[in-house]
Structures are given as structure tokens and as C-alpha cells.
Amino acid sequence: MTDTRAFSRYAFFVTGLLCASAMAQNNANFASDDNRFDGDHLKFRTNAKGFMESTGSDTQVKCAPAGSKLAIVQERADGKLVVRFYEVATESDDPEALKQCPPNQRVNTYTAYVIGKNELVNFDYRRTGVTFGGLVVPFKYRLGGDRGITASTTVAPYVGFRTGWFQTWSLSFTPVLSAGLGLVPVTDPSSGKTETKSAFSVAAGFIMGSSKNEKFNSGILFGRDLLSKADRELDPNVNKWWLSFYVGVSL
């Protein structure tokens, strides 16, 4: 019976957390990278064709062998990407891959090229790069003190680095750091009254998205709220590290 009640409380908490997270994120607007490619790096896992020199009279379409790496210099308003290769693959486990991308049609590392952003969907690649945006954490689980769950909200921008992990499964995995405003309930033990105080909230963790639905996002964060000395002495629980996670869909 005890296990059943404990499970029920846990399930209720998780359900409330997911719903509240989604609603909180939908009502928040943050500056973000808008999924732009500027500064990102791509590593091709298949041969990629369609690169043309950004300047000059050479109009021949160039090819990048599987394993080649490039940096995106700029995403232009016309949907074209200006790119520079910093590594061009010259060896392959599959000789046919290099045969289909001969040296006289191959890109090089000293020329800037242009390719349409929408053309990249024709190739398999891994994308990495800096990303930023905002997040809302409506609930926290304190890892010390009374180890309670508190409805303490943090609204914070974040900066992270999109990794190549899990991209084969259409997922993006991004470790992040964030810092921003936290609203923390502080309880006075002498009166039993609780007041919401402002705090500087810092956190680290990761967020995950899916290319199947760019509105979907989720994350796990580990952080701490920094309050005044008077608030910490009044309620020691507010000074404890916390853990939180969220799952939401931005509408």
C-alpha cells in the first residue's frame, strides 16, 4: 500500500511538472539562434555535391567526399550558405565513394563555396555549433535539507553547444549553461509564513530536441539559487542544490 501511494505521488508530480513546464515555456519569449547555420560545422557522412565557388568565373559544381568537414561562414538572406572546407577527405573505406568524387571535381580548403541551405537535406551530415535561447523551470527538487519539491520558478537565457550525438536518430543533444532570475519561496519557521524572494539562479545541464518536430524540446538541469544571507539564515533549504527537468512543446 505504501509503495502504491508513493508511486501515485510521484506520477502526480511528474504529470504536473510536464504540463506546467509546457505552459510556462509557451508564455515565454526569448531571443534565440533561430536555428541559423552561421558559425556551425558540418561533417559529411556521404558524398555531397552542389558546391560552387562564391567568387570567380568557375561555374563547375564541386563535390565533397564523405568525411569532409566545413565551417559555415554565413547564412545569406537568399537561403544560400557561404562555406569553407577545413578538411577534405582523401581516404575512404569505400573506394567507390572517392571514385564518384574525382580530384578534378573536388572541393579544396582555400576556396569559399556557396550551396543552398535546402540542398543539405539530400546529404547525411553531423552538425555542431554554438546555440542559445531561453528556458523556464517551474519546479525544483531540492537535493539537500528536507529534500522537498518546490514550485520555484527560474526564467533564464542559456548558451550551449550542439553536439553530433544522437543525430542519427533525428535528435539534437545540447549541453547548456544558464543564469537568470529565480523566484524562490522562503519560509519563516517562527511564523510559518512563506514569501517569494528574488534570487540569482545558475544551472547546467542539457536540452534535447527533435528534427521530426522542431517545436518539441526537453531538458534536465542541475542548479542553485543564490539569495541574500538573511534569506538563507531564515530558510536553509533555499541554499541547497536542485534538480529539475522539463518536457514541452512550443506553440
Q: 542541475: which residue's cell?
A: 222
* pLDDT tens series, the chain, 251 aa: 444 444 444 443 443 444 334 333 433 566 777 788 999 999 999 999 999 999 877 788 999 999 999 999 999 999 999 999 999 999 887 888 899 999 999 999 999 999 999 999 899 999 999 998 888 887 888 887 777 787 788 888 899 999 988 888 888 889 999 999 888 888 887 777 888 888 999 999 998 888 777 777 788 999 999 988 888 888 888 888 999 987 664 43
For residues 114 and 132, membership in a common domain is answered with: no
| Same-domain check for residues 227 and 193 | yes
Task: Answer for the pair 21, 246: CB distance below 8 angstroms, yes or no.
Answer: yes
Same domain, 160 and 59: no
The pLDDT of residue 29 is 60
Q: Give the cell for residue 4.
A: 502504491
Domain that holds residue 46: 41-123
Q: Are residues 118 and 187 in the same domain?
A: no
Together in a domain, 180 and 67: no
Give a yes or no: residue 222 inside a domain.
yes
Are 245 and 133 members of one domain?
Answer: yes
C-alpha count within 13 angstroms, C-beta hemisphere, residue 42: 25
Q: What pLDDT shows up at residue 248? A: 62
Task: Say whether both 140 and 208 belong to one domain.
Answer: yes
Full-prediction pTM beyond 0.95? no
Last residue of a domain, one of 123, 141, 164: 123
Does 105 share its domain with 160?
no
Give residue 243's pLDDT: 92
Q: Which helix (H) or strand (E) element contains residue 25?
A: helix 2-26
- Least Cα distance to 150 among 140, 158, 159 occurs for 140
